Amino acid sequence: MKISVMIATSLDGFIARENGSVDWLMAMDDPNPEEDAFTDFMATVDCMVMGRKTMEVVAGFLPDYGWAYEGKRVIVLSKTLSEIPKALSDKAELYSGSLPSLVKMLQEENYQRLYIDGGQTIQSFIKSGLVTDLHITRVPILLGEGVPLFGETGRDIPLKHIQTKALSNGMVDSIYQVIS
């Protein structure tokens, strides 16, 4: 099973402002339809795993942007929530167990590709050695501070560059395979 990260970062490696805002990302011009890596990527995903904070951000997008994960199983990792917020109750489910147990369960249920999203969630999957590939979109902005994509990993994690593509809106998409 592929366990993939797809996320946008500022050029200096932040995924959100200190307060969690991604206003800088929402202000970017949309890429041309033929450059829409997210739609192409989502067509290959059958299950998404995100953290609680990411779920809260995504829930805030519902009125303006709708649910980007329609038709996908969405699992929210949380040790503090007892239920999914009402607006997402029919769209996502909670999980509070270990990541290896979650991956094993999803493999047994024949999921082929997991999409991992959210800073702490991505870092936890990476530290656990579970990520197979990274799809990172660098946005042409320097935030100077914020929530970093990568925290301490405790070890070197070698990557193989697969592809990089410059988009017409100034973003740069890169794909890396994690070498295990």
For the domain that residue 51 is a member of, what is the CATH number?
3.40.430.10
Q: Where are the alpha helices (DSSP H) in the chain?
A: 23-26, 37-42, 52-65, 99-108, 119-127
Residue-wise pLDDT for 67-125, tens only, equals 888 899 999 999 998 888 888 888 999 999 999 999 999 999 999 999 999 999 999 99
Higher pLDDT, residue 28 or 43? 43
If one counts the domains in the chain, the total is 1
Half-sphere exposure of 111 (CA within 13 A, CB side): 22
**What's the domain range around 92?**
2-178
- The letter for the amino acid at 42 is M
Structure tokens at 148: 């970093």
Residue-wise pLDDT for 120-177, tens only, equals 999 999 999 999 999 999 999 999 999 999 988 889 999 999 999 998 888 999 999 9
Question: What residues contact 127, with CB distance under 8 A and at least 6 apart?
Answer: 153, 154
Amino acid 152: pLDDT: 84
**Is the pLDDT assigned to residue 32 strictly greater than 70?**
no
Alpha carbons 89 and 82: distance in angstroms, whole number:
12
